[in-house]
Amino acid sequence: MDKEVVLVLDFGGQYNQLIARRVRELAVYSEMVPYDIPFAEVQAKKPAAIILTGGPASVHIKDAPACDPRIYSMGIPVLGICYGMQLIAFQLGGEVKGSQLREYGRTLLDAVGDDLIFKGVSKQTQVWMSHGDSIDSIPEGFSITASTENCPIAAISNPSSKLYGVQFHPEVRHTIEGQQVLKNFLFEVCKLKGDWDLSDYIEEMIQAIRDKVGDKKILCGLSGGVDSAVAATLVHRAVGDQLVCVYVDNGLMRKDESEQVIRTFKDQMKMNLVFADSGERFLSKLKGVSDPEKKRKIIGEEFIRVFEEEARKLGEIDYLVQGTIYPDIVESGTKTAQTIKSHHNVGGLPEDMKFELVEPLRLLFKDEVRIIGEKLGMAEEIVWRQPFPGPGLGVRVLEEVTPEKVQILQEADHIVREEIKKAGLDREIWQYFAVLPPVRSVGVMGDGRTYAYPIIIRAVTSDDAMTAEWAHIPYEVLDIMARRIVNEVRGVNRVAYDITSKPPGTIEWE
Ligand code: XMP
């Protein structure tokens, strides 16, 4: 791939993946690498620019994370964000000190002078800060380009060396003009063209899959989730009938989910789809089990066994499609992509079943996967599907899972999804679903007393599931959902709405 690349050196801050995503939204390919990447590797990647991320450390601690300082004299632009800016100052002879005044949250930033990085940005603008240390004195050749009330050195630059730093986080939405700052860095400072185009990616990937797979058979485990669905569609475009998809219905899917998968992939897209109807098998294994981790383990292992049985029936298979996406790779260790081998046994499958992996989405963020799905003409209901945990409703029926409880939950969850969609909130809410707790409460319906289950509605907004806020759904929408659930779902007499954010809660209840 002969494209402009921005290297994002990861110092461990919580918003780091967002930085790489925002750069890609501006049509520039970005790659996340560990902060201590050897200098020779940086050179080999021929980056057009480098961004140093934020991170939890202080430059003063022993063995503070630091990049090779030779990157500052490569002649390519460097932007340091938060810890990244402090590191630039520290490594080039400035001073950083622990500040009495920690700044956390929204604050107003005043731009000083006419630095390129603030071109088109209001002289006073709201930014998001999250830091303890601050720069006390700047290195030679730099000037101060912005300040806030508690942070006199909130941005620095050295245009002749193309080195820039901002103490705030331009990548988060709370920094209102943050995207303009990143845009200025990429296009005003670095003078990039912006050549990251997902249509090209599709064409290149289709060719790469054809070259790799040849005329061999390739298998895909389809979960109904966005990633595996887009991966399968891309592979299908490349090699057609050589692809066989296996879909395992574990009995813990949402209402109508399996029908939708069959309709989409088998009927509309004419893919070879093996449908393993295994609900009873999973539910009998789960009988009497109430520990969440045990449930997860049972469901995961059973999935592998069913998949293995179906795969064996298909005879010789050489390749396996996986819907691995870029965050899976970045998150699997700060030592990142290099440690993940593309040829290995797939977790849990027997030793003799070795496949070569085909991971057509491994360079993409979730938003990009959705765009690829749209470009491939996939149905909106699949492309914009909310994230769904592998163990499915098994972790939303709390404690012991029974067929009756699964059915109650499916009905209630269906109503939640339907009403959120009707209210036009389905794209802004990250996940929205129903949970069935293992308690019952007293109610009154008609002339009679009831003793039945409550349903908990859970809905959160999030960027990446690492943190989440409970969604402020209008009362009217909550009201309709609650009425419908109690009236339409037998066995339910009460509805509660979970108003806990993550942290301290998690998105799921188990
Ligand atoms: P929590 O509950 O930890 O969830 O805030 C974070 C995100 O991960 C999803 N999730 C899972 N996904 N297998 C999965 O594939 C699991 O066991 C699992 N548990 C949670 C959850 O839906 C949310 O998007």
Q: Where are the domains of the chain?
A: 5-189, 198-383, 402-497
354 Cβ below 6 A of ligand 1: no
User: Ligand 1 pocket, 506 CB below 6 A?
Assistant: yes
Distance linking the first and last C-alpha atoms of the chain: 42
| Residue position matching structure tokens 């050589």 | 242
Question: Side chain identity at 1, as an amino acid letter?
Answer: M
Dump pLDDT digits (tens) for 362-404.
Answer: 999 999 999 999 999 999 989 999 999 999 999 999 999 999 9
Q: Is the pLDDT of residue 134 over 90?
A: yes
- What is the tens place of the pLDDT at every residue in 438-459? 999 999 998 899 999 999 999 9
Catalytic (active-site) positions = 82, 169, 171
Between CA 53 and CA 99 the distance in angstroms is 20
- Residue pair 385/226 in contact by the 8 Å Cβ criterion: yes
Q: Distance (Å, rounded) from C-alpha 302 to C-alpha 310?
A: 12
Once rounded to an integer, what is the mean pLDDT over residues 1-24?
Answer: 92
Residue 466, ligand 1, Cβ within 6 A = no
Domain 198-383 has CATH 3.40.50.620: yes
Q: Predicted confidence band at 84 (pLDDT cuts at 50, 70, 90)?
A: very high
In sequence order, which residues have a C-beta less than 8 Å from that of residue 261 and are 6 or more positions away? 222, 224, 247, 273
Q: For residue 263, what pLDDT is reported?
A: 93
To the nearest whole number, what is the mean pLDDT of the chain? 94
- The tokens for 44 are 């080999």
Q: Is the CB of 508 under 6 A from ligand 1?
A: yes
Q: pLDDT at position 304, please? A: 93
pLDDT at 465 over 70: yes
48, 190 Cβ separation under 8 angstroms: yes
- For residue 155, how far is its CA from the centre of ligand 1 (angstroms)? 37
pLDDT band at 67 (very low <50, low <70, confident <90, very high): very high
For residues 426-439, give the mean pLDDT. 97
* The two domains 5-189 and 402-497 share their CATH topology (first three levels equal): no
Written as one string, the DSSP assignment of 164-228 is EEESS-TTSTTSTTHHHHHHIIIIIIS-------HHHHHHHHHHHHHHHHTT--EEEEE-SSHHH
Residue nearest to atom 9 of ligand 1 (CA): 389
For residue 435, the cross-strand partners are 456
pLDDT of res. 1: 58
Please write the tens of the pLDDT for every residue from 175-199: 999 999 999 999 999 999 999 999 9
pTM: 0.88
Mean pLDDT of 69-92: 98
Q: Is 307 helix (H, G, I), strand (E, B) or coil?
A: helix
Q: 24 C-alpha to center of ligand 1: Å?
A: 25
Q: Which residue, by CA, sits nearest to atom 22 of ligand 1?
A: 389
Amino acid at site 248: V
Relative orientation angle of helices 366-375 and 16-25, to the nearest 10 degrees = 30
Q: Quick check: 486 and 494 in contact, CB under 8 A?
A: yes
Q: What is the pLDDT confidence band of residue 503, given thresholds at 50, 70 and 90?
A: confident
Name, in order, each residue with C-beta under 8 angstroms of 340's C-beta and a sequence gap of 6 or more.
329, 332
Specify the CATH architecture of the domain 5-189.
3-Layer(aba) Sandwich (3.40)
Q: What is the CATH number of domain 402-497?
A: 3.30.300.10
Confidence of residue 306 (pLDDT cuts 50, 70, 90): very high
C-beta separation of 55 from 9 below 8 A: no
Residue 356, pLDDT > 60, answer: yes
For residue 483, pLDDT over 60 is answered with: yes
Q: Rounded to whole angstroms, how far apart are CA atoms 442 and 196? A: 58
The HSE-up count of residue 366 (CA atoms within 13 Å, CB side) is 17
Please confirm whether the linkage preceding 503 is cis (ω < 30° from 0): yes
Following DSSP, what letter does each residue of 45-113 receive, concatenated? T--SEEEE---S--TTSTT-----GGGGGSSS-EEEETHHHHHHHHHTT-EEEEEEEEEEEEEEEEE-S
Atom of ligand 1 nearest to the CA of 468: 5
Q: Is the CB of 465 under 6 A from ligand 1?
A: yes
| Proportion of the chain above pLDDT 90, given as a percent | 87
Q: Which residues contact 480 (CB under 8 A, 6 or more apart)?
A: 419
Both tokens of 262, joined, read 């069959």
* 3-state secondary structure (DSSP) of residue 140: coil
